[in-house]
Structure 1
Amino acid sequence: MPLHVTQSLGEVSASDWDALLPIDQPFLRHAFLSALEDSGSLSKQSGWRPEHLLHIEDGRLIAAMPAYRKWHSYGEYIFDHGWADACRRAGIDYYPKLLCAVPFSPVSGPRLLGDGLALLQAVPGYVEVEALSSAHINFTDPALDALVAQEPGWLERLGCQYHWHNRGYRDFQDFLDSLSSRKRKQMRKEREQVAAQGFEFEWREGRSLAETEWDFVYACYANTYAVRRQAPYLTRAFFSLLAERMPEAIRVVFARQAGRPVAMAFSLVGGDSFYGRYWGCLAEFDRLHFETCFYQGMDYAIAQGYQRFDAGAQGEHKLIRGFEPVITRSWHYLSHPGLKDAVADFLQEERAGVRAYAEQARAALPYRQTAE
């Protein structure tokens, strides 16, 4: 199979790329990925060089993998810093590596677009020819899991996230009625505490936001990094480009106090799913994070009929608010035999630990077990 590589998604027709997408998920669309590139959020200077793998025959795009050459492991949410450190101590070059993923987005979904088995099988050879240490495919879907599991050399890694499921709730009170009395009272109290501070919330779609409002969104987003003395992954231009290219998928909720915006949560929608992505505030307020990021999102998902609310990676505090543990998967191809053997042993133990944790985490869910 002739393997084609492009360092700019602008060289690929948006209609040809999007025609390969098996599901309606905004993160895989040409508009989202190209906005990351064109906004300067991805570049060799930031440690992310686009290196998309394509299968083209007779001028027609048959399959594609969104991929990037990486000189670090930040922004991936599958943490391999320990592997890189072990390589450094052993005198092995771990970077650069090849990553197939959606940058800065720990959202599971297809990573092999179109009829891509031959493309997947070409990855190990590409890693060898390019003298890369490894290839990684993060947050995969079941279809790709089944394919990769049959290919030699790939190691499976498990993770755990927390997703909320809309089980046909009529409204937020209907959801509360499914909880134990103690948890129901706790959530109601949290919402009352926010309301008592005079907050009001307004939902907006991407096409309705002015540039001054995007300035506020970005200021809030960047502040979540500034308080940790970190630089934000995304540039201001990304939000304007995304609003221009796929406004129908964008949802922003503004939190206002005395009519003045003080916080926001940025989300995307696609298919039957609601994806909470970025949050930020300009000052600290008691319980505002939980209301803006979780309860407002649940309210919106119920009202709009979305069946799943994916609020991002990490956060055990989501469990007591009804977000259920979900196993995620990634796959790793490591060229160095010694590193591969060591990581394989580690992953075997880690997989058992992740599965055990997910089972234990269910005990923290707030749902009623018996009639009260």
Structure 2
Amino acid sequence: MHHEHEASNSGFSRRTIVKAAAWSAPVVAVAVATPAAAASTVQGIDLFADGLQMGSELIFFSTDLATRYIASEPMGFTLLNKGADTAPAGSVTVQARYDNRIYTPTEVELSVGGSTEAVGFDIVSVDGNASTISFVIPREMPTETSVFGANAMLVFTRFAADIAYPNDTYDGYVAPQWTIISADDSDMTNNVYGPWTPASEPAEPWGLTLTAETSTLSAGSCSVEVASTVTIESTGPNPTPTAANGRMYVDAGLISNVSISSATLNGADITSDVDFARNEFGSYDYALGQTLAGGDTVVLSFDYDVISGGTTDGSATNQVFVTGTDASNDRNKRQTVSYYDLPGAVCTP
């Protein structure tokens, strides 16, 4: 399942992102139902689509934001030949259907007995929100009846998924489906894997986005970019489940202290309500002391005390982020860009 990244004491990997972008986020393993194995082989070639014994899920919302969908990500399937004869190399074609509003195909990879190879693919059809890629299996397919057998082929279809706010609402989801095509197949009834209709449940979505304006400070022979102003927007439509809070990381070799110079909520001053303090790890925690309703906007401005003659190797994490709950796996939490990474300090000899 795609999740919004949460910072730890070590911070995020360095990326400068100020708006939602297409990404493939970390996934959560889920059980995948697979067809029962055939008891015996048949004459000729009998290609068979089975599960990968692995999987992941994606979460998105209906356009009215009242329903949450949990869909199986189109990772691929296991290709078996349960017939008595070997399928020749190049005689098998696979087509994979997907929802083109969410997914962009990036790679097809085959794995047999631990040996892998990438194969080329083409987009062969586009029908509204449904697109289909096609590729040829370049290897021969010996007889195999078990997904754990030596000749079982794992067919990985890899897609980049865009389900980050504001691209996280869809109706009429096109469930993924794989189809095996072979002119010599003796049984075509087991050549389709999918489609997997997403589960659905009531939802109360909320989210927080963060953008920043920056300035550059000088300390001796070094310069460091800092967040001078941070804007936090509640994407809603529901309020944050707990008071909004966040953390800031700075280069302690160049900056001795950070403070909030001003804070506003929808233009009204709330500076005295914001708790901002350095924590035991040397970073700074802030809490707004209240939940944020959908559409609320908070603007925080910061002051920095620079260390005269400070030194640094430029590897320190410089980042600010916001969150609205301690439950990082809250399924109502919309995937937003809720952090801002700043580049490392630059020093001259």
Under TM normalisation by the shorter chain, which class is it?
under 0.3
Q: Is the strand fraction higher in 1 or 2?
A: 2
The structure with more helix, counted as a fraction of residues? 1
- What TM-score do you get using the length of structure 2 for normalisation? 0.24
Instruction: Point out the structure with max Rg over C-alpha.
Output: 2
